[in-house]
Chains A and B, each alone.
Chain A
Amino acid sequence: MVESRLPPAFVDLETHLERWALPNTVARMQARDSANMADIEAFYGALVPRLPAALDYLQGIAYGAEMAACARNLVDLCLSIAEIPPAVEWYGQPRVIDGYAGSVLTITSELP
């Protein structure tokens, strides 16, 4: 039996793992910067309705390196969806209106 890559209640989100479960903040910034709005809205539309349940689940999990791989994947999806709302809810485009590209910033350290 192949082990699920997400907790059982969230296996329907597995199709988003390859593109949106990313290792760090820089990768998440780049993903939003380089995506088109159709892709961003598709991810937003798929994740946001599940987010309350996902966060309720993750509220019961201590954050750290000892998390199960499937929980880590769900966290990574949630961290990527945290990157998306300004594009959808505020700008209507991937990048900040009248702003830099995110790549102008140098991220020297980030939250684990």
Chain B
Amino acid sequence: MQGLAYRYAAGDPITAGRARDLPLPSGVNPARSPDWAVDVSVFFPNFLTAIGANTYFTHQMWPLAVDATQYEMTYYFPAPATAAERFAQEYFFVELRDLLIEDLNTLERAQANVMNGSIREFHFQDHEVVLRLHNATIRQWLKDAQANTSA
């Protein structure tokens, strides 16, 4: 059914091999890669945008406690011109929502295993250099906060 949704979408919500020809602003898919899907930008520390053609979505994470986070995802679509476009939007919403349901459940299981001591450390590979920087910066923030509290 994905193919039908593609056919009636106003734009390419995820890549359909036409990214080079899409009328995108110069800052989006700047390399004009034909296999482009979305541009993901992270605004440190807790806001992420994923900009695609004809849609974008954001993730925002709010820490509530050492073992709890409120996770917010927001989808943005233009108003559908036709009723068939509305179907395509719902289809892509469902696909992304199901991915989120899977990914967040994986995160919760990992967290449970951190809390029970089964996982004691994470290894960031070389291609996860941005995660290394994120982790190091957060640790420095916490260290600074503790120093200020105890001062």
B77 contacts partner chain A, Cβ-Cβ < 8 Å = yes
B10 to chain A, nearest CB (A): 11
Q: Which 7 A-B pairs have the closest CB atoms?
A: A58-B83, A99-B101, A59-B84, A82-B90, A82-B91, A58-B84, A85-B1
Q: Size of chain A's interface in residues, with CB distance under 8 A?
A: 34
Of A59, A60, A86, the contact of B98 (CB 8 Å cutoff): A86
Q: How far is the CA of A29 from the CA of B100 in the complex (A)?
A: 14
Question: Between A and B, how many residue pairs show CB distances below 8 Å?
Answer: 93
CA–CA, A73 to B76, complex, Å? 24
Residues of A contacting B4 in the complex (Cβ-Cβ under 8 angstroms): 51-52, 55
A16-73 contacts to B (CB < 8 Å): 25, 29, 48, 51-52, 55-56, 58-63, 67, 71
Partner of B84, one of A29, A55, A89: A55
B95 near A: Cβ within 8 Å? yes
Chain A residue with minimal CB distance to B71? A105
Interface string of B82-117 (1 = CB under 8 A from A): 111111011101110110111011100000000000
The B interface, classified by DSSP as helix, strand, loop or mixed, is helix
Quick check: B83 and A96 within 8 Å, CB to CB?
Answer: no
The residue that A83 contacts in the complex, of B81, B90, B106, with Cβ under 8 A, is B90
Smallest Cβ distance from B103 to chain A, in angstroms? 9
CB contact under 8 A between A63 and B81, given known A79-B86, A79-B87, A82-B90 = yes
A-B contact pairs, 19 of them (CB 8 A): A29-B97, A48-B1, A51-B4, A56-B84, A58-B87, A59-B85, A62-B81, A63-B85, A71-B83, A78-B83, A78-B87, A78-B90, A81-B1, A82-B93, A98-B106, A100-B101, A100-B105, A105-B97, A111-B90
- Residues of the B chain whose Cβ atoms lie less than 8 Å from the Cβ of A71: 83
**CB distance B106 to A111 under 8 Å?**
no
User: In whole angstroms, what is the CA distance A60 to B53 when docked?
Assistant: 23
Q: Is the CB of B87 within 8 A of A111?
A: no
B2 at the A/B interface (Cβ < 8 Å)? yes
